[in-house]
């Protein structure tokens, strides 16, 4: 009962803190002004993701202090999340060169992996893989990629919030069904903190998340997926499947842009979800469409993987129609002007 009261308080605090940040942004004219590479047309306050960061980190620290969650589980999330959020906050309010942002991102990944003990033994196509230091390097690259793709995919109202809530609650359901209840609290806490923010970010958004929030969600979700893998290898596949919409769109788009020779850190609006929102004429159908894909396609496959379906097979099954959608909605193609 005490835990549920705490989570209710988290929801309320996140909701009110986002409201306060919106008032602050309006008073200080901290606005996201639309330009030719934006997916919105109305000046909107930014930086609301700080509410998620502060609420989650403070509550996680409180839970660890009260032994509701272990410090071993909390420290990778606290350190990496705080560092990424701080760098994102500074970038939101000025500009940090890409090389310094990347250095901070790898430092955050290194912190998390140090406390987790690197990459666990993974089950790949029925074979156990122990990759040692190479595995730790790959895990660091994975965390940095999840962090950055979350930033790339935070381009229309509500989409990053909805994805985080769906992925976390999907993982929580699989944990509960498969008996891994010790893993439930950290992702459930994140989903609730994001839900309070989503009230203000749901289309049409009254405040945007900002780099501090999107980067924070990316690194925390990445760490949660690796922590789950230490308990049961198949749970990493569950997270990769639940994040399929973001992983496929971002990876497909980045691949095409790299092949074309584009500067990958240059702002653009060539993701499939951005093309889809322009075709629909608004953001709401696309955000709801992502939620529907997560709920009715990716979640059932994740549950099957949790109960023994080969993870690689489940991933291929889950991603195949997502690749089709990425092609259909022109992910990574140059936008035709006029």
Annotated binding site for Mg(2+): 151, 211
Query: What is the 3-class SS of 26-83, one letter each residue?
Result: HHCCCEECCCCCCCCCCCEECCCHHHHHHHHHHHHHHHHHCCCCCHHHHHHHHHHHHH
Q: Long-range contact list for 261-265, CB < 8 A, 24+ apart? A: 265/98
Q: Give the Cα separation of 292 and 34 in Å (integer).
A: 28
- Residue 38 burial by CB count (10 A; 0-12/13-18/19+): exposed, middle or buried? middle
Chain-centre distance for alpha carbon 233:
20
Nearest Cα to Cα of residue 39 among 200, 267, 259, 215? 267
Q: Give the Cα separation of 178 and 174 in Å (integer).
A: 6
Give the residue ranges of the annotated binding site: 151, 211
Q: Give the Cα separation of 269 and 122 in Å (integer).
A: 35
Alpha helices in the chain (DSSP H): 2-27, 49-65, 71-92, 98-116, 132-153, 159-178, 185-201, 210-231, 234-242, 244-260, 272-280, 284-293, 299-306, 311-328
68 phi and psi, to 5 degrees? -75, -30
DSSP β-bridge partners for residue 122: 129
Nearest Cα to Cα of residue 289 among 155, 148, 163, 154? 163
Taken as a whole, the chain contains a residue count of: 338
């Amino acid at each position: 009962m005490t835990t549920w009261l705490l989570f209710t308080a988290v929801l309320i605090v996140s909701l009110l803190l986002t409201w306060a940040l919106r008032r602050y942004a309006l008073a200080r004219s901290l606005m996201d002004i639309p330009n030719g590479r934006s997916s919105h047309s109305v000046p909107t306050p930014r930086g609301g993701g700080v509410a998620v960061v502060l609420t989650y980190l403070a509550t996680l620290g409180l839970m660890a202090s009260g032994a509701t969650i272990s410090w071993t589980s909390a420290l990778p999330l606290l350190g990496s999340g705080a560092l990424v959020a701080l760098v994102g906050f500074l970038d939101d309010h000025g500009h940090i060169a890409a090389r310094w942002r990347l250095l901070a991102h790898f430092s955050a990944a290194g912190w998390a992996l140090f406390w987790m003990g690197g990459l666990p033994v993974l089950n790949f196509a029925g074979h156990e893989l122990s990759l040692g230091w190479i595995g730790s390097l790959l895990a660091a690259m994975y965390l940095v990629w999840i962090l950055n793709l979350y930033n790339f995919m935070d381009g229309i109202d509500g989409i990053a919030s909805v994805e985080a809530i769906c992925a976390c609650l999907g993982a929580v359901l699989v944990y509960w069904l498969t008996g891994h209840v010790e893993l439930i609290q950290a992702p459930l806490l994140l989903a609730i903190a994001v839900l309070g923010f989503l009230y203000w970010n749901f289309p049409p958004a009254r405040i945007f998340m900002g780099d501090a929030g999107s980067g924070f969600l990316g690194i925390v979700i990445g760490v949660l997926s690796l922590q789950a893998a230490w308990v049961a290898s198949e749970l990493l596949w569950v997270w990769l499947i639940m994040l399929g919409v973001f992983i496929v769109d971002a990876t497909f788009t980045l691949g095409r842009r790299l092949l074309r020779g584009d500067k990958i850190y240059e702002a653009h609006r060539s993701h499939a979800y951005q093309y889809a929102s322009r075709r629909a004429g608004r953001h709401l159908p696309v955000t709801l469409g992502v939620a529907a894909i997560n709920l009715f396609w990716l979640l059932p496959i994740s549950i099957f993987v949790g109960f023994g379906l080969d993870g690689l097979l489940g991933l291929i099954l889950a991603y195949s129609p997502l690749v089709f959608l990425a092609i259909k909605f022109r992910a990574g193609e140059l936008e035709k002007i006029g």
